[in-house]
Amino acid sequence: MYAPNITKALSSSSAEIHSGEDSEACSLRKQDQLRSWQVQSHTKGIWMWCVPHPQKPDHTLVLLDTEGLGDVEKIDEKSDTQIFSLAILLSSTFVYNTMNKIDQGAIDLLHNVTELTDLLRTRNSSDLSESEKTADVSFFPDLVWTLRDFYLGLETNGHAITSDEYLENSLKLKQGGDERTQAFNLPRQCIQNFFPVKKCFVFDSPAHRNKLSQLQTLSNEELSPEFVQELSEFCSHIFTHSKTKTLPGGIQTLLSAKQDEICKKNVKASAERCSTLLESIFKPLEQEVAGGIYAKPGGHNLFLQKMEQLKAQYRQQPGKGTQAEEVLQKYLKAKEPLSNTVLQTDQALTAKENQRKAEQARAEAARAEAQRLEAIRIQEEQRRAEQERLHQEKLRQIEIDRANFLAQQQRIKEQRIQEEAARIKAEQEAQLRQLNEQLQIMREMSHRSSRNH
């Protein structure tokens, strides 16, 4: 933020907000503040003050306090423009501090932008595109116009207006094309063009005029309450709305260019290193492909497995740089025709092998069917033979049984004959014995008769 002659007033309010800062810093800011209400210029060149931003973590609030524009004691007439140019380049909020009211003199002093554009542009406006013209304005900070010891009433045509409306009214252009109107409009047009974001604050006198000479010794409680309130609103606006400053070009551009150059060299070196490494690692694989190692069914899967092994080996190598993966993918992309060749060979040989296996399977199925039929035929012959054997066996058994039956019948017959013969013989023998016994009896009777006689 650039604040010619207003930084001192801002720093007094900051002391209240940064209550944790040391007393030396607070004292320094208060002593600087009081110079704004003195006649003689105390600030020479640019004075810088840096503190942590009260509302944005990791941000630093930088205030640049410059000597007043249009100082009659200046020797170098270009000093205002040079200081103004530097402040514009470094600031995100430009605080333009004037006395009493906005008048033509204050506007003419701010009209330094007409000279500033010649210092900051490297080409004429006619050579710039619309986007480039917009970029020329983009590095201009926001404008905050502060009016010290403001004594006018903020009203127009009997209606109250804001300080911002007062500023806009002061910068309004007049209608007309005469030379005097153009001279009136030129600085206002420049201010409107180069400061599209504008804000205005008005300040009462900080204390009674009798105490103005003693401002360095006055405490905040002894200052005008209106002034303290106005200053607080001003500081709040600065803390809330001041943007983070980024500088186009300069060291950042040089660093970016150098970084780009180094990155390009690193990219090239990394690409060369990775290409050499890939050629070394994958060369044996290409030789194996050329030697027909993978020209067989399933060869493509073996090829892919080998590729994965080699990729893992490549990724484990140190010092490849930023292009490691990109170069690998490009290499693999370039080797896709080789992989496709292996795949096509694999597919052709696999199809041929499948056909051979199918024919072999059909032949084996035919042989198995023939064997099955032969086994059935043999089984049928064996069954028939067994049936014939059983039939013959049965016939033989029948013959044996018949012979046995006949023999048994013969034996029974013979036995019966023998038994009948034995019976007859026994009967005959019994009859013979009976006859013999009768004969004996008769003999005995005859013998007794004869003896009796």
CB 2 within 8 A of CB 91: yes
356-372: pLDDT as tens digits: 889 999 999 999 999 99
* 272 confidence band (pLDDT: 50, 70, 90): very high
Instruction: Tell which wins on pLDDT, 258 or 175.
Output: 175
Cβ partners under 8 Å of residue 7, min gap 6: 32, 47, 49, 63, 64, 65, 95
Assigned token pair, 360: 């072999």
Report the pLDDT averaged over residues 414-424. 83
Does the pLDDT value for residue 169 go beyond 80? yes
Q: Which residues pair with 61 in a beta bridge?
A: 51
Nearest partner of 31 among 1, 8, 4, judged by Cα? 8
DSSP state of 283: H
pLDDT of 373 reads 93
pLDDT of 208 reads 75
Q: What is the three-state SS of 306-317?
A: HHHHHHHHHHHC
Look up tokens 């599209």; give the residue: 196
Least confident of 206-220, 307-321, 347-361, 432-446: 206-220
pLDDT of 31 reads 39
Nearest partner of 206 among 10, 4, 403, judged by Cα? 10
Report the pLDDT averaged over residues 156-177. 88
How many Å apart are CA 142 and CA 345, to the nearest integer? Answer: 72
70-91: pLDDT as tens digits: 555 655 667 767 777 777 778 8
Does the pLDDT value for residue 300 go beyond 90? no
pLDDT of 149 reads 80
Q: What stretches of 134-290 adopt beta strand conformation (E)?
A: 142-148, 155-156, 159-160, 198-202
How many Å apart are CA 405 and CA 164, to the nearest integer? Answer: 152
pTM for the predicted model, two decimal places: 0.48
How many Å apart are CA 15 and CA 355, to the nearest integer? Answer: 94
* 446 confidence band (pLDDT: 50, 70, 90): confident
Report the pLDDT averaged over residues 121-140. 49
* 309 confidence band (pLDDT: 50, 70, 90): very high
Q: Count H helices and E strands in the chain, helices first.
A: 13, 7
* 135 confidence band (pLDDT: 50, 70, 90): very low
Q: Tell me the pLDDT of the chain averaged across its residues.
A: 78
* 223 confidence band (pLDDT: 50, 70, 90): confident
Strand pairing report for 142-148 and 198-202: parallel
* 10 confidence band (pLDDT: 50, 70, 90): very low
How many Å apart are CA 113 and CA 120, to the nearest integer? Answer: 10
Instruction: Tell which wins on pLDDT, 317 or 426.
Output: 317
Does the pLDDT value for residue 248 go beyond 50? yes
Report the pLDDT averaged over residues 9-34. 32
* 379 confidence band (pLDDT: 50, 70, 90): very high
How many Å from the N-terminal Cα to the C-terminal Cα in the chain? 209
Taking only Cα atoms into account, the Rg of the chain, rounded to an integer number of angstroms, comes to 66
* 4 confidence band (pLDDT: 50, 70, 90): very low
Instruction: Report how far apart, in Å, the C-alpha atoms of 236 and of each of 290, 347, 348 are.
Output: 78, 77, 81
pLDDT of 196 reads 87
Cβ partners under 8 Å of residue 151, min gap 6: 100, 101
